[in-house]
Amino acid sequence: MQDDVGTILRAMFMVVLKLSAPGLVAALTVGLVVSLIQAVTQINETTLAFVPKLLALGLALSIAGPFMFATLNDYTHLLFDRLIAAGGQ
């Protein structure tokens, strides 16, 4: 039983990393590029930093959406399979 809990928790943390990585990487990359452009041109406009991040996040989620859904679906099946197996014991 302890091994099952450890396996489920480890899988949960991997799922959290896989689901959060595309959006975080896209927002971080675009934020860094926009910050460099703002530092070079000395333009301090808050919407200039917000709008590209929002667009990049939407693009990253639309591209990585099927992967994210498949990851979450696999984890859900694993969780229910383990739940059924634990109920039979």
CA distance 47 to 54: 10
Q: Is 31 exposed, middle or buried (0-12, 13-18, 19+ CB in 10 A)?
A: middle
Q: Which of 5, 4, 30, 20 is nearest to 67 (CA)?
A: 20
Domain of 54, in residue numbers: 2-87
pLDDT digits (tens, 9 = 90+) for 22-80: 999 999 999 999 999 988 988 888 778 889 999 999 999 999 999 999 999 999 999 99
Domain count, the chain: 1
Return the pLDDT at 2.
64
Return the pLDDT at 60.
95
Return the pLDDT at 66.
95
